[in-house]
Chain A
Amino acid sequence: GQGVEQPDNLMSVEGTFARVNCTYSTSGFNGLSWYQQREGHAPVFLSYVVLDGLKDSGHFSTFLSRSNGYSYLLLTELQIKDSASYLCAVRGPKGLTFGLGTRVSVFP
């Protein structure tokens, strides 16, 4: 089966960074996506990774290690508006399996 684990909460300060970790197990890995979800709104796609290494997309970067079943989303130069839940989703034989999400709170 598939399982996706994320920490519940993460707090950080405006102007710094936050790293959201994700560990997963799957019988057939076919990539990992990150989504942002603000309170009361639908998830919004941020990034997709399928190869090992760091993918730099500016404000958001993502890292993947397939051998360790591990990924992280790195948010740099945090702004208050980055406060949201960040969902890790593993693409497997039965589509996307989402984690519970990590609630990131950015403080002044």
Chain B
Amino acid sequence: EAGVTQSPRYAVLQEGQAVSFWCDPISGHDTLYWYQQPRDQGPQLLVYFRDEAVIDNSQLPSDRFSAVRPKGTNSTLKIQSAKQGDTATYLCASSPLQLSYEQYFGPGTRLTVL
């Protein structure tokens, strides 16, 4: 069974630039999560979807961040105008609806904003 895949693995930006992260969850997992993990901290939930619907995006900085999952499979997280404080690893995870305590994480995208 293929795991969660993410791309790109690394990104380096200047402040003000835009970037998109892509995630392909495990087939059949209806729930998809995006986390931000700054260095030496735990993952912090940004947004999660059940199928194509956003369930909770209360921690997503809405003025610069956006996330979509149009067909309930792959998902894209976009930062419109990056800031140095956005430097972190962005993790995508998926789980079946009934097992949301057991999430399968992708390798992450390590973002550096200069």
Contacts and interface: CB of A to CB of B under 8 A. Distances in A.
Interface stretch (A10-18, A75-83, A98-106): A98-106
Contacts of B100: 91, 95-96
Given A42-B106, A95-B56, A101 B101 contact: no
A9 to B, nearest CB: 11
The interface residues of chain B, by DSSP majority, are classed as: loop
A54 to B, nearest CB: 18
Contacts of B40: 100
Interface of A: 4, 31, 33, 41-45, 48, 87, 89, 91, 94-101
Given A33-B102, A91-B101, A97 B45 contact: yes
A24 to B, nearest CB: 12
Interface in B24-65: 33, 40-45, 48, 56, 58
A42 B108 contact: yes
Interface of B: 33, 40-45, 48, 56, 58, 91, 100-108
B45 A87 contact: no
Contact of B56 (A44, A48, A94): A94
A98 B44 contact: yes
Contact of B103 (A96, A97, A100, A101): A96
Given A33-B101, A89-B101, A94-B58, 17 more contacts: A31-B101, A33-B102, A41-B107, A42-B91, A42-B105, A43-B43, A43-B91, A43-B103, A45-B104, A89-B42, A91-B100, A95-B100, A96-B101, A98-B42, A98-B43, A100-B40, A101-B42
The interface residues of chain A, by DSSP majority, are classed as: strand
30 contacts: A4-B42, A31-B101, A33-B101, A41-B107, A42-B91, A42-B108, A43-B43, A43-B91, A43-B103, A43-B105, A45-B104, A48-B101, A48-B102, A87-B42, A91-B100, A94-B45, A94-B56, A94-B58, A95-B33, A95-B45, A95-B56, A95-B100, A96-B45, A96-B100, A96-B101, A97-B45, A98-B43, A98-B44, A100-B42, A101-B41
